[in-house]
Chain A
Amino acid sequence: AQSVSQHNHHVILSEAASLELGCNYSYGGTVNLFWYVQYPGQHLQLLLKYFSGDPLVKGIKGFEAEFIKSKFSFNLRKPSVQWSDTAEYFCAVKLTSGTYKYIFGTGTRLKVLA
């Protein structure tokens, strides 16, 4: 069965530190990839997405992610985190082979210390 792995469950960083959250999926076909973020007390919202083209995608609030097909990875990065980035981050995969299902990772809780 297809799955999405987020190996970092909890991450604590100081402001201005660099961030990289890992995401790996297990599916050999064509995929659409997403990162969602859930700030405390808010809706789950889209951070960025990859459908095709340039494997380096940029999202809101200075986040970016790189799709590396050979590694089945879609890691999220930010060069310098802020206290306001404290949130839970979810990686998700959408298979393009005739399914409407999205598969989510278990999430990474990021805490940024001021």
Chain B
Amino acid sequence: SQTIHQWPATLVQPVGSPLSLECTVEGTSNPNLYWYRQAAGRGLQLLFYSVGIGQISSEVPQNLSASRPQDRQFILSSKKLLLSDSGFYLCAWSLGIIETQYFGPGTRLLVL
């Protein structure tokens, strides 16, 4: 069966520091991968998605970036964190173009 992992589970970082959140999927090939940010009362905001290695689509211009170095690995990064980057970050995967999304456990990021 397929599983999705995210780490770390919780992260506290100072303003201006770099960020790297990792997401990996097991048990499937060629998944579509997604990064969302979940904020209270604002639902899930799509940040990036990828349909293949090296292919990244950005939905929200900000100081975050994403990369997909391997088929089942999706990384969310920042060179310099802002206070407004605090939030709950979710990774998700799906197959094909008409399929259910499956979510990881999330990473709670607090920028101080």
Contacts and interface: CB of A to CB of B under 8 A. Distances in A.
Whether A and B are associated in the same complex: the answer reads yes
B21 interface: no
Contacts, number: 52
Interface string A47-80: 0010100000000000000000000000000000
Contacts of A94: 98
The B interface is mostly helix, strand or loop, or mixed, namely strand
B49 A100 contact: yes
A96 B98 contact: yes
Given A34-B100, A96-B98, A102-B101, A107 B43 contact: yes
A90 B44 contact: yes
Interface string B74-112: 000000000000000010101001101111111000000
B49 A106 contact: no
Contact of A100 (B36, B51, B103): B51
A46 B100 contact: yes
A104 interface: yes
Interface string A94-105: 101011111111
Interface string B26-68: 0000001010100001111010010100000101000000000
30 contacts: A9-B41, A32-B98, A43-B103, A43-B104, A43-B105, A43-B106, A44-B92, A44-B103, A45-B103, A46-B101, A90-B43, A90-B44, A92-B44, A92-B101, A96-B98, A98-B97, A100-B49, A100-B51, A100-B94, A100-B97, A102-B46, A103-B46, A104-B36, A104-B44, A104-B46, A105-B43, A106-B42, A106-B43, A107-B41, A107-B43
Interface of B: 32, 34, 36, 41-44, 46, 49, 51, 57, 59, 90, 92, 94, 97-98, 100-106
8 nearest A-B residue pairs (beta carbon): A106-B43, A104-B44, A44-B103, A104-B43, A107-B43, A100-B32, A43-B103, A43-B105
